[in-house]
A = this chain, B = another copy of it.
Amino acid sequence: MFSFRAIGRVRSPYKATAEIPKGLGTKHPAEGVLDISPEFEAGLLDIEGFSHLFVIWVFDRSEGFELTGTPPSDNRPHGVFATRSPRRPNPIGLTVVELLRREGTQLYVRGVDMLDGTPIVDIKPYLSSVPQESLRRGWLADAEARKTNTK
């Protein structure tokens, strides 16, 4: 077992899971704050130079897990490691956010999809992208195609 502690909390407009946009084609334009504990402030040196960050966080209000489940974006079940379900063997979340500005230990960001108060366990710089034309998106692309065909 590996034990991790919160290095800070997310300040988000979402107070309940039902408020978070879900499903096909969802955008996450919501702004929020990564509120880092003062003891870790030195670790933020030069972070403002990056436009995007990976935020690794904990689904602290999720209980238990299912190895397969039907996500909001489809009507067929898929393996949990092929989805972003919160009900995972280790309830770890990963979000890419755009860094708007830093004020001390507060990172103002766009793209939050976490609940208010969510514990953050790590932040990393987003350094490069897989070119969009190289990506295959499996069941999600299939679900999108079925939705388009039935319109």
Contact = CB atoms under 8 A, between A and B. Distances in A.
Given A46-B82, A54-B94, A129 B129 contact: yes
B43 A67 contact: yes
A140 interface: yes
A126 B122 contact: no
Interface in A61-116: 67-68, 77-84, 88-90, 92, 94, 96
Q: For this complex, into which size category does the number of interface residues on chain A fall?
A: 35 or more
A139 interface: yes
Contacts of A2: 3-6, 58, 60, 119, 121
B1 A4 contact: yes
A138 B125 contact: yes
A39 to B, nearest CB: 9
How many chain copies?
A: 2
A129 B132 CA distance: 6
A94 B77 CA distance: 26
Interface string A1-34: 1111111000000000000000000000000000
A2 to B, nearest CB: 5
* 7 A-B pairs closest in CB distance: A49-B138, A45-B79, A129-B129, A51-B136, A42-B67, A4-B90, A43-B67
Given A4-B92, A47-B138, A92-B121, 6 more contacts: A1-B4, A43-B81, A46-B79, A46-B138, A51-B136, A88-B122
